């Protein structure tokens, strides 16, 4: 059975310039695509990842400066963990402190699961309150790290490699875990307390989903500082069609295929309410600009090109205000 590891995580954030300053300036991720929300072209959609924006490396953001504040709760991916090599933990503790990013002390997680757990995590939040963590994983140490160069660059050996995993808060933990373990091919590694860990064997990135039973907790609300959806990898359109049929047979309702320019998407709510996406691996982010220039200019899908001038004028400026303005 094919295992469908995490392709990307998409979140809702606030002011666009602040988003770039944090994910590029502090976390050192590459802005691999600067486009718009295809369902709301009045808002940006930023994609952050490794050099090429490889599936599994991607954390994406809808910046809505005047959006309502989200609420973490049942029916949501409550935390996104980003993968770093174990030898880089000290570097990141120093970097977070240097940038005055408040964080918890390093802690081991799910150590009773042996090789399937025991990673060291440092939890913190982005400027909009998004719950994030850095997780050590020896599997990513040999993956290439992105560095843009320059005085403030993060050395490639310490760079964030991509998504380690997500923690889902759900009331139907058995249903959510069962869908992942069934048609989506994940392996149930075990449980500790109210958390069940599922693992995408063979994947270096996007390989962990922790399903936490939060029965009785308040419901989630989408908004600034919250995860909108979690996307899982499918190789191509045929694989997407087959998996869509399989999850539909398991009792969920899936959307029609939606063209996202850089991949094709299908969406559905997993048991417990978390929004899942099935995203194809291709065609990728170099389809409309060269690899060396990814993220440097505003890219629009063909249906919006005729309105480029009006769309660009309505988007928030990404330039910093002059000193004293």
C-alpha to C-alpha distance for 237 and 260, rounded to whole angstroms: 13
Could you tell me the strand order of the sheet in which 264-269 lies?
A: 30-37, 40-49, 58-63, 6-13, 226-234, 275-280, 264-269, 258-259
Indicate the domain borders of the chain. Answer: 6-314
> The whole model's pTM is what?
0.97
Alpha-carbon 203 to chain mean position: 16
**Could you tell me what percentage of the chain is helix, strand and coil, using 3-state DSSP and rounding each to the nearest 5?**
25, 35, 40
For residues 279 and 8, the answer to whether their CB atoms sit within 8 Å is yes
Q: In a structure prediction context, what are the per-residue pLDDT tens digits for the chain, which is 325 residues long? A: 589 999 999 999 999 999 999 999 999 999 999 999 999 999 999 999 999 999 999 999 999 999 999 999 999 999 999 999 999 999 999 999 999 999 999 999 999 999 999 999 999 999 999 999 999 999 999 999 999 876 668 999 999 999 999 999 999 999 999 999 999 999 999 999 999 999 999 999 999 999 999 999 999 999 999 999 999 999 999 999 999 999 999 999 999 999 999 999 999 999 999 999 999 999 999 999 999 999 999 999 999 999 999 999 999 999 754 444 3
DSSP secondary structure letter of residue 241: H
Secondary-structure class of domain 6-314 per CATH: alpha beta
The half-sphere exposure of 80 on its side-chain side, counting CA atoms within 13 A, is 30
């Amino acid at each position: 059975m094919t295992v469908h590891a995490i392709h990307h995580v998409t979140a809702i954030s606030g002011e666009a310039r602040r988003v770039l300053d944090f994910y590029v300036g502090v976390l050192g991720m590459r802005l691999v695509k600067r486009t718009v929300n295809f369902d709301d072209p009045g808002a940006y959609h930023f994609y952050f990842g490794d050099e090429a924006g490889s599936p599994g490396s991607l954390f994406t953001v809808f910046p809505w400066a005047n959006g309502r504040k989200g609420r973490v709760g049942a029916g949501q991916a409550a935390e996104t963990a980003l993968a770093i090599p174990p030898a880089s933990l000290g570097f990141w503790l120093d970097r977070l402190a240097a940038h005055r990013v408040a964080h918890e002390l390093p802690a081991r997680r799910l150590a009773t699961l042996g090789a399937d757990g025991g990673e060291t995590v440092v939890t913190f939040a982005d400027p909009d309150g998004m719950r994030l963590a850095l997780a050590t994983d020896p599997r990513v140490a040999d993956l290439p790290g992105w560095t843009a160069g320059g005085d403030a660059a993060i050395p490639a050996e310490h760079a964030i490699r991509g998504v380690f995993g997500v923690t889902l808060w759900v009331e139907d933990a058995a249903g959510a875990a069962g869908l992942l373990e069934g048609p989506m091919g994940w392996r149930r590694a075990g449980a500790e307390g109210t958390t069940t860990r599922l693992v995408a064997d063979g994947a270096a990135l996007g390989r962990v989903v922790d399903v936490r039973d939060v029965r009785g907790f308040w419901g989630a609300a989408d908004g600034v500082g919250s995860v909108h959806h979690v996307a899982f990898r499918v190789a191509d359109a045929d694989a997407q069609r087959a998996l869509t049929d399989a999850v539909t047979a398991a009792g969920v309702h899936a959307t029609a295929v939606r063209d996202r320019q850089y991949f094709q998407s299908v969406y559905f709510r997993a048991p417990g309410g978390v929004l899942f996406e099935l995203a194809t691996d291709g065609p990728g982010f170099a389809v409309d600009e060269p690899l060396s220039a990814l993220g440097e200019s505003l890219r629009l899908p063909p249906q919006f090109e005729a309105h480029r001038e009006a769309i660009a004028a309505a988007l928030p400026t990404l330039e910093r205000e002059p000193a004293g303005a």
